[in-house]
Amino acid sequence: AKEYELRQYETAKWVSTVIRGETQKEAMRQGFWKLFHYIQGKNEKEMKIDMTVPVTCLVKSGCTDFKISFFLPFEHQDSPPQPTDSNVFIEERKAAALFVRSFGGFASPEKYAEEADALARTLRNRGQPFHEDFFYTAGYDSPFKLFNRHNEVWYFKK
């Protein structure tokens, strides 16, 4: 469909943190820095890890907890170094089918919510079953990239 795509993701490990009771924008800022410190060596092996994309944020309706995550590079999937910050953890996300809507520009929490609403409407209109109580935002660009930016919202297929 031109409004979205259906992707199959394999099981993979991500490094994550949960920020509670902040706005989504502030949670993204705090979460990003916690995870950035992890890849810069704040882990049990004091190992630097390459930055990967996307950076995701789990958004649950009616909830002010946000889970921010970095994808772990393929060479670290088997045995990622353990975080030394007790608020950072390694998680394994199981293989899943995701409905994905892509959009450009600088993405604010409001823009992500708008795009998620548009994707949800389209999926409902097409009779596609999906988990409606949460979605992920996915950002692919550095804040310094000004043009041709790529952002996504993801809903999990039921």
pTM of the model: 0.96
The model's pLDDT over 71-110, given as tens digits with 9 standing for 90+, comes to: 999 999 999 999 999 999 999 999 999 999 999 999 999 9
C-beta of residue 35 within 8 angstroms of C-beta of residue 69: yes
Q: Give the whole-angstrom CA distance, residue 74 versus residue 128.
A: 31
Q: Give the whole-angstrom CA distance, residue 8 versus residue 85.
A: 32
Strands 134-139 and 55-60, by their bridges, are antiparallel
The model's pLDDT over 121-142, given as tens digits with 9 standing for 90+, comes to: 999 999 999 999 999 999 999 8
Cβ neighbors of 94 (< 8 A, separation 6 or more) are 11
Strands (E), 10-48: 12-20
Mean pLDDT score, 25-42: 97
List residues bridging with 7 in a β-sheet: 98
Tell me the CATH number for domain 5-156. Answer: 3.20.80.10
